Amino acid sequence: MRNRTKWIGLLALVFLLLMQVACGNGKSGGNNAEPGKSSTGQSETGKSEASEEPSQETKQEPVKLKLMMHVADDTRKAIAQMMKDRLAEKLPGYEVEFELVGTATDWENKLRTYNVTGDLPDVFYMAGAPSFPIIKAGNVIDLTSYIQEDGFAKKYSDPAVLAPASDGKMYAMPEGFDFYFNPRLFYNKDIFEKYGLDIPKTYDELLAVSKTLNDKGVIPMVVPAKDFNGAGLFLNIVMMMLDNPQTVLDLNDHKIDWSDPKVIAALNRVKQLVNEKVLPEGVVNLDYGAAANLFATKKAAMYAAMTWDLSSIEKTPDVDFMLWPQVNPAVDPNSVTMYWGAPNSGYAVSSKSKHIAEAVKLAEYAAEISSFGFTEIGKSPSALKTDAKMDMSDLAKRNLEQFDQTTIKVPPLALNLGSKMFSEYLKLSSSLLTGQYTGEQFAKDIAKPWEEEKKGSK
């Protein structure tokens, strides 16, 4: 008994002492992000050649900067390598430490942690929901004046790509190509031929084809759903768009709520895809790799994916894409699509950087190399012009043509949600994929964060 009292006493004492230290420390955090201070890795550092200027006496210290990006796909891996390789030539006098994060989830976690602790690198890739808290915390600078002054803005062929955030500022250097990414329904031609199936033109035909495929032991359609939440990020939106593109636009502008019958109907259609076994059982746990693998090994007939995977998808023989099956006779699937790019996507510059002007240059460099890489390796068109040679495959060409001819391009609704709403939205979207959760329940459960989101936006 005596021990216990002592124990509590000691704890209380330690507690009081530490509260003092803790509070003092909490406030001072944030200013220690000295880019040069952290030790730089030899392997990760692209050292620039010493300046060739004859005036050796003004020997300048190299500008030390840190850049973080994710390298979740092979294209980005190659791009990161290019950034290291060309640094010396394009940005002499820069010493850049690259922090390359292997997965999108890791990258998101890193951004969150760094944002909280004030350790954001000088330049970093950001996009979608993780960018909002960073902007809100004032941790990134407005790039508008910089790129107007140095003429970088002129390199973008389509000014739409430079669309600012809702407050009129531009926080990230767009890479120019994400706008062209769109959700596609790829399919294995050989499977359809083998069973004498026609390409489904309407939603009902899709259900019928899927039934046949299931009977033959082939999975009709896969979509990545676990780490990359395909349902939340595009499938729900595609279903709304096929019914009425205006629904997506209105929801994006907060003009309607998730309880709108059209929204609920679209969500229920996703549920139905699971109930009718168009999507396989357990699709909710299908991660990116598994979905791609099932399609590539011809175990699944159709693959709903974003076109940034086009270059790896077309490595599978006998692959093509089809138009999304028609849901509403009034909406021609050939005329609507969803684009991907959102404001605040691209390379941002930390407001705590010691060398803001140089960091902006680095961000421009990063955006250009990304655009170059995605054009040359990823075969993706880009609004940020580079000297990349685009050697498009037939499939990629047709994808671009189809994209260009659509008259209505709906925004990637999910990317425009604030972080709270975004998390809840993805969570509920995964519930939809169990086939046991209805659009009505979804609308009810999303109501609270949605109200907060609407309030916050005003």
Partner 1 sequence: MSSFYNNRLALFLFSAPTLILFTLFVVYPLFPQIRISFFDHDGINYNGFVGLDNYRDVLHSSEFWHSAYNNVKIVLISTFVGLPISLLLALVLDRMSPGIRRYFRMTSFMPAVLSVTVIAQMWIAMFEPRFGALNQALSTVGLGDLKRIWLGDPETALPSVAFAFLWQYIGLNMVLFYTGIKSIPKTYYEAALIDGAGFFQTNVRIVLPLLQEVVKFVLVISVIGCLRQFEHVKMMTNGGPGSASRTVIYELYYRAFNMYEFGVGSVIAILFVVACLLITFMINNLVAREKMEF
Partner 2 sequence: MVRNINRGVLKAVLIVLGIGWIFPLIWMVLISFKKPGEVYGSPFRLPKQWIFDNYPNALKSFDFTLYFTNSVIYSVGTILITLILGSMFAYCVARMNWKFKSVALSYVALGLIIPAQVTIIPLFMLLRSLHIKDTHLGLILPYSAFALSLCVMMLYAFFRTVPKEMEEAAIMDGCNVYGAFFRIILPIIMPAIATQIVLIFMNTWNEFFMAFILTGQEEFRPLPIGLLNFFVGRGTPEWGMIGAVMVVSSVPTILVYLGFSEKIENALTAGAVLK
Given the rule CB under 8 A, which residues bind partner 2?
Answer: 3, 6-7, 10-11, 22, 25-26, 28-29, 32, 38-39, 41, 43-44, 71-75, 77, 97, 99-103, 105-106, 109-110, 113-114, 116-117, 119, 227, 287-290, 292-294, 296-297, 299, 309, 312, 315
Q: Which is nearer to partner 1, 136 or 397 (CB)?
A: 136
**Amino acid identity, residue 249?**
L
Q: Any contact of residue 175 with partner 1 (CB under 8 A)?
A: no
Give the nearest distance from C-beta 396 to partner 1 in angstroms. Answer: 31
Give the nearest distance from C-beta 1 to partner 2 in angstroms. Answer: 12
Q: Any contact of residue 116 with partner 1 (CB under 8 A)?
A: yes
Q: Measured between alpha carbons, how far is 11 from 16 in angstroms, rounded to an integer?
A: 9
Q: How many residues of this chain bind partner 1 (CB under 8 A)?
A: 40
Query: Which of the choices partner 2, partner 1, none does residue 335 contact, using the CB cut-off of 5 to 8 A by kind?
Result: none
Nearest to 159 by CA among 178, 176, 143, 171: 176
Nearest to 139 by CA among 337, 344, 339, 306: 344
Nearest to 66 by CA among 110, 25, 2: 110
Give the nearest distance from C-beta 91 to partner 2 in angstroms. Answer: 21
Query: Which of the choices partner 2, partner 1, none does residue 12 contact, using the CB cut-off of 5 to 8 A by kind?
Result: none
Q: Which is nearer to partner 2, 95 or 453 (CB)?
A: 95
Q: Are 446 and 428 in contact (CB under 8 A)?
A: yes
Give the nearest distance from C-beta 329 to partner 1 in angstroms. Answer: 33
Handedness of CA 15, 19, 25, 29 (dihedral sign): positive
Query: Which of the choices partner 2, partner 1, none does residue 397 contact, using the CB cut-off of 5 to 8 A by kind?
Result: none
Query: Which of the choices partner 1, partner 2, none does residue 436 contact, using the CB cut-off of 5 to 8 A by kind?
Result: partner 1
Give the nearest distance from C-beta 215 to partner 1 in angstroms. Answer: 15
Q: Which of 433, 443, 450, 453 binds partner 1 (CB under 8 A)?
A: 433
- Find tokens 């790829």 and name the residue: 186
Q: Any contact of residue 330 with partner 1 (CB under 8 A)?
A: no
Q: Are 206 and 272 in contact (CB under 8 A)?
A: no
Q: Measured between alpha carbons, how far is 319 from 197 in angstroms, rounded to an integer?
A: 15
Q: Measured between alpha carbons, how far is 43 from 199 in angstroms, rounded to an integer?
A: 50
Per the structure block, which two tokens stand in for 134?
């960073």
Q: Any contact of residue 436 with partner 1 (CB under 8 A)?
A: yes
Query: Which of the choices partner 1, partner 2, none does residue 430 contact, using the CB cut-off of 5 to 8 A by kind?
Result: partner 1
Nearest to 146 by CA among 351, 305, 396: 351
Three-state secondary structure readout of 254-316: CCCCCCCHHHHHHHHHHHHHHHCCCCCCCHHHCCHHHHHHHHHCCCEEEEEEEHHHHHHHCCC
- Find tokens 């969570």 and name the residue: 427
Q: For residue 238, what are the contacts with CB-CB under 8 A and spacing of at least 6?
A: 183, 304, 324, 338
Q: Any contact of residue 416 with partner 1 (CB under 8 A)?
A: no
Q: Which is nearer to partner 2, 29 or 456 (CB)?
A: 29
Q: Which stretch binds partner 1 (CB under 8 A): 153-161, 240-248, 282-290, 384-392?
A: 282-290
Question: In the window 227-266, what residues touch partner 1 (CB under 8 A)?
Answer: 227
Q: Any contact of residue 9 with partner 1 (CB under 8 A)?
A: no
Q: Any contact of residue 434 with partner 1 (CB under 8 A)?
A: yes
Q: For residue 301, what are the contacts with CB-CB under 8 A and spacing of at least 6?
A: 187, 188, 191, 192, 213, 218, 219, 220, 221
**Amino acid identity, residue 60?**
Q
Q: Any contact of residue 447 with partner 1 (CB under 8 A)?
A: no
Q: Which of 166, 427, 454, 456 binds partner 1 (CB under 8 A)?
A: 427
Give the nearest distance from C-beta 84 to partner 2 in angstroms. Answer: 12
Q: Any contact of residue 282 with partner 1 (CB under 8 A)?
A: yes
Q: Are 127 and 342 in contact (CB under 8 A)?
A: yes
Q: Any contact of residue 32 with partner 1 (CB under 8 A)?
A: no
Handedness of CA 229, 235, 241, 244 (dihedral sign): negative
Eight-state DSSP code of residue 96: E
Give the nearest distance from C-beta 239 to partner 1 in angstroms. Answer: 19
Q: Which of 424, 425, 446, 453 binds partner 1 (CB under 8 A)?
A: 424
Nearest to 320 by CA among 398, 405, 390: 398
Count of CB atoms within 10 A of residue 218's CB? 21
Give the nearest distance from C-beta 315 to partner 2 in angstroms. Answer: 7
Q: Which of 8, 22, 50, 447 binds partner 1 (CB under 8 A)?
A: 22
Per the structure block, which two tokens stand in for 426?
């993805």
Q: Any contact of residue 351 with partner 1 (CB under 8 A)?
A: no
**Binding positions for partner 1, rule: CB under 8 A:** 14-15, 18-19, 21-23, 25-26, 109, 112-113, 115-116, 118, 133, 136-137, 139, 219, 226-227, 280-285, 419-420, 423-424, 427-428, 430-431, 433-434, 436-437
